């Protein structure tokens, strides 16, 4: 019998304080990331109703004034008086931090809410919020302003319908956020992901500002997700392999499909949360997959060979979707699952189900095995290349003539500038602060690693020098303990070629050293486009807009304008002041806020398929200043 969801199930852990004073503690920032987190918090409440089996439809509307409305057909938030706190349950949920039904495992067996701050934080950080609830034939409503109720919970309509629903509308507070302009792409990406992860769920999204509309519904669930990720790649077999199973209160579904690339893309979710840092469930999947394939090789192929996990995962795209009661999240961004029991559960479900599938599908199993064996042979050749590289490094030949090292031995303050070209590298070496800034000049464009196998990557001199200089190793051998620099700064010309080189470098870091990006060590320098001098003053400007604004402010004074075509045109002093002096430079930290989107973009822009790249460029041509086709 289903538990009654009423006011008595609402529990309060502590009241709502200091949210408006320190919003970043609760939503990460007051920039775009924090702004969009508000939408996620409200939508996650609806998704928890989906996970509980009571919601089939969600609608999100971005209004013309940048307010948001989220509607679902779940059970509706209770409105009756709480037996202890003597307030309507709706008001408690909206005005107290950590108040809700998620702490009662009978009401929500599994729930998301990674940060656990709840819709009350959205309320606190909104200029206004209105909540409507339809329950037991009545529509109830309450309005709040900056977190405080300005009306009572009151019935505004009665009918005989058995319909239930919750509607939350809010407008972010301009006193809190840098901007309240919502990004259509950012919102729809997350909603599409949620539709993939919840098979059959219908999510409708509308933008009144642009009249855009989308409906996401995927009967194929995570199988459709894998097909979506592989849509620009040459796949090994047409339909993803799908397995599912349960152990106690834990349920798991996995979809996998191989492609002809040399990279692996595994995305693991717990209660619809993307665990970007992995965790025990991901370890269990890898262990189960490795054991299945090696057992098949030994039993069916009669081959005396042991494949490593990295051999078996080359070219693999996989989605792991786990529903888990009381997940414990760890890691720098709280996106790594820490529950020890998850590893064994996932490993056993994957092993049992995938073993059966391979036995029943020998042709497909042979394709997977042959690809893994081929990967193993290339890995062994690559290992020999690594050993040769290490011997060269030990003899001092690995970076001879390339790296201009810094004198400080403290990785926490040291910086490595990776600079395009010998000319710019020469200026950077002369203009830097030798105490903590090292310079690594690169000649020309490095390999596109999206199209290249590991052995060619390791044999490339420019990439080899970069790996050696940074000190962490790559792929499975990567370790932050070896990092020699707190900041790795990419500095290239402010033109199309420079943008291409930055993209090639970022592709390399994303595919071979992703944790360098995740932990915030990769930066992009923005060298100026213009040098403007007026009397004894000198300005470095990054855009034509800045130049126009400055010239309008100089009045009748004579100014000299120099446009830089490349870094090599700057003398050492100018390069130091414009791009290397920590007090005056502009550098941007690179982040992977959405790993799934990053993967898609790199696959489109750097992969072997030409048509998707052409379509992407044509679609976004008006949004960028420089295009590299």
Burial class (CB in 10 A: 0-12, 13-18, 19+), 472: buried
**C-beta of residue 241 within 8 angstroms of C-beta of residue 257:** yes
Whether 599 is catalytic? no
Three state DSSP letters for 192-256: HHHHHHCCCCEEEEEECCCCEEEEECCCCCHHHHHHHHCCCCCECCCCCEEEEEEECCEEEEEEE
CA dihedral angle for residue 177, residue 183, residue 188, residue 193, rounded to 10 degrees: -60
Give phi and psi for 617, each to the nearest 5.
-65, -40
3-class state of residue 573 by DSSP: helix
**C-beta of residue 271 within 8 angstroms of C-beta of residue 52:** no
421 vs 419: CA distance, rounded Å: 6
Adjacent-strand bridge partners of 135: 138
Whether 495 is catalytic? yes
Whether 65 is catalytic? no
Residues near 345 by beta carbon (within 8 Å), at least 6 away in sequence: 247, 250, 252, 281, 284
3-class state of residue 23 by DSSP: coil
**C-beta of residue 125 within 8 angstroms of C-beta of residue 138:** no
**C-beta of residue 563 within 8 angstroms of C-beta of residue 530:** yes
In the structure encoding, which two tokens stand for residue 152, read together? 């009572």
402 vs 424: CA distance, rounded Å: 13
Distances (CA, A) of 421 to 402, 497, 625: 11, 11, 23
Measured at the CA of 165, the angle between CA 161 and CA 167, to 5 degrees, comes to 135
521 vs 343: CA distance, rounded Å: 30
CA dihedral angle for residue 218, residue 224, residue 228, residue 232, rounded to 10 degrees: -140
426 vs 411: CA distance, rounded Å: 23
Identified catalytic residue from 145, 497, 546, 569: 497
Residues near 260 by beta carbon (within 8 Å), at least 6 away in sequence: 233, 234, 235, 236, 315
Identified catalytic residue from 420, 450, 462, 599: 420
Identified catalytic residue from 48, 493, 599, 600: 493
Whether 497 is catalytic? yes
β pairing state of 587-589 and 437-442 = unpaired
463 vs 147: CA distance, rounded Å: 53
Identified catalytic residue from 495, 515, 569, 628: 495
497 vs 331: CA distance, rounded Å: 37
Distances (CA, A) of 7 to 32, 78, 117, 168, 577: 35, 6, 19, 19, 62
Measured at the CA of 443, the angle between CA 528 and CA 532, to 5 degrees, comes to 15
State how far Cα 161 lies from the chain centre.
42
**C-beta of residue 282 within 8 angstroms of C-beta of residue 334:** no
Active site residues: 420, 493, 495, 497
């Amino acid at each position: 019998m289903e538990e009654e969801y009423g006011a008595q199930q609402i529990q309060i852990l502590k009241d709502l304080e200091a949210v408006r004073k320190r919003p970043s503690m609760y939503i990460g920032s007051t920039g775009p990331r924090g702004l969009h987190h508000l939408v996620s918090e409200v939508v996650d409440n609806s998704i928890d109703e989906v996970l509980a089996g009571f919601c089939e439809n969600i609608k999100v509307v971005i209004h013309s004034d940048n307010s948001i409305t989220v509607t679902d057909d779940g059970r509706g938030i209770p409105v009756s008086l709480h037996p202890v706190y003597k307030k309507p349950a709706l008001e408690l949920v909206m005005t107290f931090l950590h108040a809700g039904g998620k702490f009662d495992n009978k009401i929500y067996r599994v729930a998301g809410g990674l940060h656990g701050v709840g819709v009350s934080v959205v309320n606190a950080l909104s200029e206004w919020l209105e909540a409507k609830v339809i329950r037991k034939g009545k529509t109830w409503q309450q309005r709040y302003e900056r977190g405080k109720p300005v009306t009572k919970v009151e019935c505004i309509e009665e009918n005989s319908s058995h319909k239930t629903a919750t509607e939350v509308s809010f407008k972010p507070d301009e006193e809190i956020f840098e901007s309240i302009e919502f990004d259509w792409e950012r919102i729809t990406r997350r909603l599409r992901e949620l539709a993939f992860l919840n098979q059959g769920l219908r999510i409708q999204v509308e933008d009144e500002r642009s009249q855009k509309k989308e409906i996401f519904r995927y009967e194929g669930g995570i199988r459709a997700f894998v097909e979506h990720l592989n849509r620009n790649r040459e796949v090994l077999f047409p339909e993803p392999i799908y397995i599912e199973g349960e152990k106690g209160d834990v349920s798991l579904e996995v979809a996998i499909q191989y492609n002809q690339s040399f990279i692996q893309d595994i995305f693991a979710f717990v209660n619809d949360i993307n665990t970007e840092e992995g965790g025990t469930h991901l370890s269990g999947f890898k262990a189960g997959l490795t054991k299945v394939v090696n057992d098949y090789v030994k039993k069916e192929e009669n081959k005396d060979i042991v494949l490593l996990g990295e051999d078996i995962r080359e070219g693999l795209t996989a989605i792991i979707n786990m529903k888990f009661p009381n997940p414990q999240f760890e890691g720098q961004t709280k996106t790594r699952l820490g529950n020890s029991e998850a590893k064994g559960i996932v490993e056993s479900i994957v092993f049992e189900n995938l073993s059966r599938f391979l036995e029943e599908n020998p042709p497909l199993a042979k394709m997977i095995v042959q690809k893994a064996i081929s990967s193993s042979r290339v890995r062994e050749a690559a290992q020999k290349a690594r050993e040769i590289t290490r011997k060269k490094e030990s003899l001092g030949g690995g970076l001879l003539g390339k790296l201009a090292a810094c004198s400080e031995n403290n990785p926490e303050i040291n910086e490595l500038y990776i600079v395009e070209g010998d000319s710019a590298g020469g200026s950077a070496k002369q203009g830097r602060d030798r105490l903590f800034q090292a310079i690594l000049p690169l000649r020309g464009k490095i390999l596109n690693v999206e199209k290249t196998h590991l052995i060619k990557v390791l044999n490339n001199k420019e990439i080899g020098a970069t790996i050696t200089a940074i000190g962490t190793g790559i792929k499975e051998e990567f370790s932050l303990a070896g990092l020699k620099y707190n900041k790795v700064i990419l500095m290239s010309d402010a033109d199309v070629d420079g943008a291409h080189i930055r993209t090639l470098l970022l592709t390399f870091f994303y595919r071979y050293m992703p944790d360098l990006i995740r932990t915030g060590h990769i930066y992009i320098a923005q060298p100026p486009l213009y040098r403007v001098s007026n009397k004894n003053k000198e300005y470095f400007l990054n855009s034509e807009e800045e130049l126009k604004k400055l010239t309008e402010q100089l009045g009748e004074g004579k100014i000299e304008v120099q446009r830089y075509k490349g870094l090599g045109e700057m003398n050492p002093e100018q390069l130091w002041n414009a791009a290397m002096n920590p007090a005056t430079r502009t550098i941007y930290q690179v982040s992977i806020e959405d790993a799934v989107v990053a993967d898609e973009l790199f696959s489109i822009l750097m992969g072997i398929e030409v048509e998707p790249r052409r379509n992407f460029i044509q679609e976004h041509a008006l949004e960028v200043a420089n295009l590299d086709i």
